[in-house]
Amino acid sequence: LSASELEIIPSGAIVVNSEGRIQLLLRDVNPNDPLGPITAAMPPAPPDQPPTPIAIHQLLPGRFLIPGFVDTHNHAPQWEQRGLGQGMHILDWLEAITFPNEARFADPSHARRAYASCIDGFLRQGVTMASYYGSLHGEATNILADLCLEKGQRAFVGKCNMSRHSPAYYRDASIQESLDVTEACIAHIRKVDPEGKLVKPVLTPRFAISCDNEVLRGLGEIAKHNPDLPIQTHFNEAEQEMKATKELFPEFENEIDLYGHFGLLGERSILAHCCHMTEYEMQRFKELRCGVAHCPASNMTVGGGFMAAPVREFMRRGIKVGLGTDSGGGYSSSMLDAMRLAIVASNAREVMSGGKDKGLSIAEVFYLSTLGGAEVCCLEGEIGNFAVGKAFDAIVVGTTGADQGIMTMVGEDEGLPMMFEKFVMTGDDRNIIQVYVQGRLVKG
């Protein structure tokens, strides 16, 4: 599938096996006789064994299935501060709003309460996979990973590294401790989910400003010895941040050379924001195969970018792009909001570029919020769309009757393409009836 292609299957069937994987995908099933074609397509049971039992769940009229949303950039400890600090520039916002809030996660009981609410809140929005930044605290970060496993949300979970340029009350105790806690969290997550089926650790230097060179170097070493670990950080978010980075690292011309020098860039790097990009940085992104977490909500309200990333240009060059809520710089926990804001931001870019960078379509923002995000997380073999062998991460969308929420449906027979477009543009969590991760019902 390309980003602009959307396949709508009016009468299909998906068979999910006991491991939560898609075993069969049928595109033309008679709704009056679903079991017939499914049993016909199933591999025959060995002669001496009884056939595998099949439980059928048929969707009610007006409901349809979509792949779960992938949130490529999310600060779990900022769940409760969403919406605060509108219009502030990034470093001021961190100091005034974010650091005092994140510091509260030193208390494990606060972390347990807030993280449980955060995960429930995102599952409710159909976020079946989130790449989470934790706070700097090891215990709280382990709690976040445990809760994702318990509640069944697919996630990357990272202890946030910040050894300098943050207040004394919220800073890693030392360079060594920053790295030791990182290693301990990786070990914990590998212990509770040994195969990383649902939850994986992610290296999470907050951004270069908050990391001593030795921390960046140490994380690069960890990355080298753990080639399966994803890496996430903030990249070229806003002028205030870029200027401060340049002052702290005068030896580097730009952030791509900086993070590259410390061994933090490659296919598994998830770089948030990327609002300001030079031609050189665009080329290096492509060469290094870094992924972009596009976060239009925060970009246009908090942080001082007040301009969203050049997504059309990334896509034209074949650079991986996904969407992020960036909760809590982003005020909304809804990926539908992220999709709509991505359209709005891209329309502004179209005007600013004199028509060169066309605005994004419904199909394209849907791609970004599902398969595009999966690619950014290097999980495209596992999730992002419905395909045989992939995990069944899915949302049951309801559009009529009691499910309607604020969507306005004129008639019963509007057809799937129109229902889908209305869901993307006007839907909310009231339309998200059920959510599945790896075949497990996690909401509804």
In eight-state DSSP terms, residue 439 is: T
Is residue 357 at the binding interface for ligand GUN, with CB under 6 A as the rule?
no
Question: Could you say which DSSP state residue 331 is in?
Answer: S
Q: Which of 359, 331, 330 is nearest to 347 (CA)?
A: 359
What is the per-residue binding string for Fe ion in 292-321, x denoting contact by CB under 5 A?
Answer: ------------------------------
Token pair, residue 47, equals 């002669």
Dist. CA 94–CA 97, nearest whole Å: 6
In sequence order, which ranges of 300-355 are alpha helices (DSSP H)? Answer: 311-316, 335-352
The vertex-43 CA angle with 68 and 47, nearest 5°, equals 140
H or E element at residue 440: strand 440-443
- Nearer to Fe ion by C-beta: 64 or 132? 132
State whether residue 295 is helix, strand or coil.
coil
The site for ligand GUN, by CB under 6 A, has a size of 12
Contact call for residues 308 and 339 (beta carbons, < 8 A): no
Asked if residue 60 lies in contact with residue 387, where contact means CB atoms within 8 angstroms, the answer is no
Q: Which stretch binds ligand GUN (CB under 6 A): 90-98, 279-287, 352-360, 366-374?
A: 90-98
- Which of ligand GUN, Fe ion, none sits in contact with 126, Cβ below 5 to 8 A by type? none
Q: Applying CB under 6 A, does 82 fall inside the site for ligand GUN?
A: no
In the complex, the smallest distance separating the C-beta of residue 171 from Fe ion, rounded to whole angstroms, is 18
Residue 326 engages Fe ion in binding (rule: CB under 5 A)? yes
3-state secondary structure of 69: strand
393's contact among ligand GUN, Fe ion, none, with CB below 5 to 8 A by partner kind, is: none
Q: Quick one: which segment of 5-13, 23-31, 322-330, 334-342 binds Fe ion (CB under 5 A)?
A: 322-330
292 binds, among ligand GUN, Fe ion, none (CB under 5 to 8 A by kind): none
Show the site string, 3-42: x = touches Fe ion by CB under 5 A, - = not.
----------------------------------------
DSSP E strands in 76-193: the ranges are: 127-133, 154-158, 160-161
Asked if 71 interacts with ligand GUN (CB under 6 A), we say no
- The answer to whether residue 235 forms part of the interface with ligand GUN (CB under 6 A) is no
Binding site for ligand GUN (CB under 6 A): 75, 90, 94, 98, 206-207, 234, 237, 298, 303, 326, 329
